[in-house]
């Protein structure tokens, strides 16, 4: 059976070049980068090459890139690290109601510890409102954490204006951006947008799972969550997973020209929308302005999980809501005010550069089949 993988926002296939890099690092260049001998030095050089690739993509200094195990660790490090470092200067944390759980759950922990947490609500397009941010921020706000692209809908957040709002309010806040779904897909400019902390992950852009990074602006100070050796300027001690990190570097170097790829995704996304629009019971949940890599829609009457298994039987892999919240109802779509029937039947497809128009045709064909043959739940 032909395999059509349309769940690239959950994870991607590791590209051949990155896999080979990982293999080479594991079997040949296996030294510990902290070792003083030449075997260690050789690994350290490779690791710095990977760091340079990350810095290049973000347009920042190499020293501002801190390797982690992935998006969740980066987000946790940023949220807890900032709260700890600034707790004497204030008590308020502002985030959104549609963050990934690795930010959402983290701030909930801080709320239990006595921080005041404010969650900005999304509008119908799934975006927070800068006006609302302006209203709630004050000079006791120590952290503003907002994702760049939402993982379920693809909604792109207006984060360029946040720095100015923080400054106008004279808030001591650090500004954190979870850019996991945008990194390598949209231009991400931490310098220009005044971002202090930014999370990114390797396995969403055809690198291996288990690698990621946290950008920390020079001068921004956060406290570490782990203690031990001197690695990563003591922010993230522990022997580096060199093979995975170097493979992430390779995956970044393999990225096609961003705007070219964006055009390709635009074509897939539009075609998919047009085809789906003609099907009865189908509602598109992603706004037109969303990142074209992600398209969220509902096939009313058919539960997400049923649709997912039906498509999987045909070799088509999609996601219900987000993969991290297996089986749970989407808090993102709920925050956008969608009806329970729409949330229950939401499906997310997410594209990569390996997808083609015929993949989309196949998907649409099977959605039509499902729509006609599957027994519908009669709840509305």
Partner 1 sequence: MMKEIILIKLGEIVLKGLNRKNFEDTLMRCIRRRLAKIGEFHVRDAQSTIYVEPVHDDADMDEAALCVSRIFGIAAYARACVTEKDLPAIQQAAAEYLKDTLEDIRTFKVEAKRSDKKFPFRSPEICTEVGGYLLEQYPHLTVDVHHPDVVITVEVRDFGAYIRAGLERGAGGIPVGTGGKACVLISGGIDSPVASYMMAKRGLELMAVHFASPPYTSERAEEKVVELLRRVARYSGRLKMYTVPFTKLQEEIHEKCKEEYFTIIMRRFMMVIAERLAREKGAQALITGESLGQVASQTIGAIACTDIVCGMPVFRPLIGMDKEEIIDISRKIDTFDISIQPYEDCCTVFTPKHPRTRPVLDKVVEEQAKIDSEPLIEEAIANVKVRDIL
327 is a site residue for partner 1 (CB under 8 A): yes
Distance in Å, CB of 370 to partner 1, minimum: 8
Q: What share of the chain is helix, strand, coil (3-state, %, to 5)?
A: 40, 15, 45
378 is a site residue for partner 1 (CB under 8 A): yes
Gap between the Cα atoms of 116 and 247, Å rounded: 40
Judged by beta carbon, residue 94 or residue 308, the one nearer partner 1 is 308
Asked if 115 contacts 140 with a C-beta cutoff of 8 angstroms, the reply is no
Site for partner 1 in 337-356 (CB under 8 A): none
Distance in Å, CB of 329 to partner 1, minimum: 10
Coil, strand or helix at 287: coil
Distance in Å, CB of 263 to partner 1, minimum: 35
Distance in Å, CB of 237 to partner 1, minimum: 33
Coil, strand or helix at 349: strand
Token duo for residue 259 = 């705007």
C-alpha distances in Å from residue 207, one per residue of 6, 42, 223, 238: 17, 22, 28, 21
- Which of these segments, 61-69, 166-174, 267-275, 322-330, binds partner 1 (CB under 8 A)? 322-330
Gap between the Cα atoms of 323 and 318, Å rounded: 9
101 is a site residue for partner 1 (CB under 8 A): no
- Which of these segments, 5-13, 141-149, 169-177, 306-314, binds partner 1 (CB under 8 A)? 306-314
**Which of 15, 23, 119, 324 is flagged as catalytic?**
324
Q: Can you say whether the dihedral through the CA atoms of 236, 191, 286, 94 is positive or negative? A: positive
Distance in Å, CB of 326 to partner 1, minimum: 7
Residue among 101, 108, 109, 377 that touches partner 1 (CB under 8 A): 377
Residue among 113, 326, 337, 357 that touches partner 1 (CB under 8 A): 326
**# binding residues, partner 1 (CB under 8 A):** 17
313 is a site residue for partner 1 (CB under 8 A): yes
- Which of these segments, 66-74, 206-214, 215-223, 372-380, binds partner 1 (CB under 8 A)? 372-380
Asked if 285 contacts 299 with a C-beta cutoff of 8 angstroms, the reply is no
328 is a site residue for partner 1 (CB under 8 A): yes
C-alpha distances in Å from residue 128, one per residue of 159, 269, 276, 346, 359: 9, 23, 27, 21, 33
Q: Which among 118, 122, 104, 120 has a CA at the least distance from the CA of 336?
A: 122
Helix (H) or strand (E) holding 346: strand 346-350
Judged by beta carbon, residue 36 or residue 375, the one nearer partner 1 is 375
Where would I find the H helices in 137-215? 162-168
Site for partner 1 in 4-43 (CB under 8 A): none
Residue among 13, 277, 312, 357 that touches partner 1 (CB under 8 A): 312
Judged by beta carbon, residue 252 or residue 318, the one nearer partner 1 is 318
Judged by beta carbon, residue 37 or residue 380, the one nearer partner 1 is 380
Residue among 193, 271, 310, 317 that touches partner 1 (CB under 8 A): 310
- Which of these segments, 54-62, 76-84, 224-232, 370-378, binds partner 1 (CB under 8 A)? 370-378
Token duo for residue 247 = 């493979």
365 is a site residue for partner 1 (CB under 8 A): no
Q: Which among 207, 184, 229 has a CA at the least distance from the CA of 25?
A: 207
Token duo for residue 106 = 């983290």
Gap between the Cα atoms of 4 and 315, Å rounded: 6
Q: Can you say whether the dihedral through the CA atoms of 121, 123, 125, 131 is positive or negative? A: negative
* Known catalytic residue at 324: yes
Coil, strand or helix at 92: strand
- Active site residues per annotation: 324
Sites of contact with partner 1 (CB under 8 A): 303, 305-310, 312-313, 326-328, 374-375, 377-379
């Amino acid at each position: 059976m032909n395999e059509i993988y349309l769940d690239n926002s959950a994870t991607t296939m590791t590209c051949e070049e990155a896999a080979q890099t990982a293999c080479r690092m594991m079997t040949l260049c296996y030294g510990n980068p902290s070792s003083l001998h030449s075997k260690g030095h050789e690994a350290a050089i490779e690791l710095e090459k990977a760091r340079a690739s990350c810095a290049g993509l973000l347009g920042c200094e190499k020293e501002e890139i801190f390797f982690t195990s992935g998006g969740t660790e980066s987000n946790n490090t940023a949220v807890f690290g900032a709260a700890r470092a600034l707790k004497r200067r204030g008590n308020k944390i502002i985030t959104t109601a549609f963050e990934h759980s690795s930010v959402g759950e983290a701030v909930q922990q801080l709320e239990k510890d006595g921080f005041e947490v404010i969650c900005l609500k999304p509008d119908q397009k799934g975006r927070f409102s800068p006006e609302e941010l302006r209203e709630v921020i004050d000079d006791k706000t120590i952290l503003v954490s907002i994702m760049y692209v939402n993982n379920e809908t693809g909604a792109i957040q207006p984060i360029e204006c946040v720095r100015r709002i923080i400054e106008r309010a004279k808030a001591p806040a650090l500004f954190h951006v979870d850019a996991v779904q945008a990194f390598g897909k949209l231009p991400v400019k931490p310098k220009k947008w005044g971002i202090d902390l930014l999370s990114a992950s390797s396995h969403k852009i055809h690198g291996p799972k288990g690698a990621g990074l946290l950008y920390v602006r020079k001068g921004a100070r956060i406290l570490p969550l782990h203690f031990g050796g001197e690695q990563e300027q003591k922010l993230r001690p522990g022997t580096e997973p060199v093979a995975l990190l170097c493979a992430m570097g390779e995956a970044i170097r393999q990225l096609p020209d961003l705007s070219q790829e964006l055009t390709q995704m635009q074509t897939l996304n539009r075609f998919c929308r047009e085809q789906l629009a003609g099907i009865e019971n189908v509602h598109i949940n992603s706004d037109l302005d969303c990142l074209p890599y992600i398209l969220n829609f509902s096939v009313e009457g058919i539960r997400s999980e049923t649709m997912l298994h039906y498509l999987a039987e045909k070799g088509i892999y999609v996601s219900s809501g987000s993969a991290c919240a297996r089986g749970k109802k989407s808090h993102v779509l709920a925050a956008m005010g969608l009806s329970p029937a729409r949330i229950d039947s939401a499906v997310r497809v997410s594209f990569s550069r390996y997808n083609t128009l015929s993949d989309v045709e196949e998907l649409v064909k099977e959605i039509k089949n499902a729509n006609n043959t599957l027994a519908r739940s009669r709840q509305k």
